[in-house]
Structures are given as C-alpha cells and as structure tokens.
Structure 1
Amino acid sequence: MNNGFVTPIADVEFWVNVGIYYVLLIAKIYAFANSLLYSGESYDAAGKLNKVTWTILLGVAVVLQLVPLPLSIINLAMTVVALVYLADVRPALAGLRRR
C-alpha cells in the first residue's frame, strides 16, 4: 500500500541517476573544451581524426546530454566518443606538447 511516500530505494536510485547525469555532462564538456585547445596539425601529427571531426562529435555529445530526448542509444554512443577522446586522443595530443 502506497501512502504517498517515496521509498528510500527509489530516492537513492534518483540521486544516483542525477549524479551519473552530471558526471557524464562534465566529462563531455571537458572533452569538448579540451578538443578546442589543440591545433589541427596536432591531430594530424598524432595520427588521429582531424580537429573538426572531434570537435563536432564532442559538441553533439554535449548537446545530446543537455537535451532530454529519448535517444538513449545515441547518447550512449556519444558518451563512448567522449570517453575515447579522453582515454586515447587527449593523451596522444598532450604527448606532442612534451616533446
């Protein structure tokens, strides 16, 4: 019987989802902003996709995270794009600066 109270489990689930949403939003914004810091030549020298492609992909990722559309599979794909940028492309670009 529901007395109008939210169960503690549902409350925890809500806050976990909110936390995940904001962590992913911050990661995507960081990846997008970081992609703007490097020159197009750096992307070519690192052997990665060009700067325009990464910037567009990461910009779309941020927009899809902010707009509440029922495109969860596309949003998931854009999350993977941001994580690939942060795990693979960003270290390769940063390595070029240290030389």
Structure 2
Amino acid sequence: MLITGFFTVFGLISLALFLFALFAFVDAAFHREDAYRAADKNTKAFWLIILGIAAVVMKLFSVLSFLPIIGLVAVIVYMVDVRPAVRGVSGKGRGNRRGGFRNRSGSSSDGPYGPYNGRR
C-alpha cells in the first residue's frame, strides 16, 4: 500500500510537470517570430523544439530519472527569462494590461502622476 501511494504521488508530479511543459510549448507557439529576435533570445523554432522535447521527455520518463529534470530546467528558463522578454517586446507586459497606465518614461520609480520621491 505504501508503494502504491508513493507511485501515485510521483505520477501526479509527472503529470503536473508535463502540463507545465505543455503550457510553455503552447505559449511559445503563440508569440510572433520577430518578437524572439527583438528580445535578443533564440529563435521561435529553437524554443519550440526544446520545449517540445521537454514535454515528451516528461511524459515518457519517470520523475526519478535525470532527463525530466533537464527538461524542467529548460521550461523554467523559458518561463522566467524568455517569456517575459518576448511579452515585453510584443506589448503584452505588465503595464499594458486592459488599457491600464503604461510607464513611458522608463524609470522604475515613476508613478501615474510623476516621480515618486519616497515622502521626502
């Protein structure tokens, strides 16, 4: 019974990692090719191949193997480095959601009514 529970937990972890890799693959497929070049990242085809291989590896191999861990590293690199850069170039970044305020000055301390001076 303990062994069955152990493999059930690892099966759920494997499924979650596969879905994470699949989400990254689909997200990479929906961005334009020129956005990758403008963000100075590798090409769209490169990331689709890497993320596709990562998804297949996570589906076929156990979490206890080292191959899904390598695939997970690739997915994490895409999600925390490439995706925000591509979204920023495409105009889908944080400040541009639902027609909200977009900081045009470039300073991180500017608010919607001018610079923030820290209550001085």
TM-score with structure 1 length normalisation? 0.79
Instruction: Determine the C-alpha separation between the residues in 1 that align with 2:68 and 2:8.
Output: 20
* Shift >4 Å, 4+ stretches: none
| Greater helix content | 1
The CA deviation string for residues 25-51 of structure 1, in whole angstroms up to 9 with x for no partner, is 110000001111111110011111111
Task: Give the gaps of 5 or more residues in structure 2.
Answer: 97-120
SS in 2 for 1:36: helix
Could you say which structure has the larger radius of gyration? 2
Percent of paired sites with the same residue: 31
Q: Does 1:44 align with 2:34?
A: no
Instruction: Determine the C-alpha separation between the residues in 1 that align with 2:17 and 2:53.
Output: 13
Count of matched residue positions in the alignment of Structure 1 and Structure 2: 92
Instruction: Determine the C-alpha separation between the residues in 1 that align with 2:68 and 2:88.
Output: 29
SS in 2 for 1:29: helix
Partner of 2:15: 22
TM-score with structure 2 length normalisation? 0.67
Task: Give the gaps of 5 or more residues in structure 1.
Answer: 1-5
Q: Does 1:68 align with 2:68?
A: no
Partner of 1:56: 49
Which of 82, 90, 93 is the aligned partner of 1:89? 82
Which of 31, 35, 41 is the aligned partner of 2:28? 35
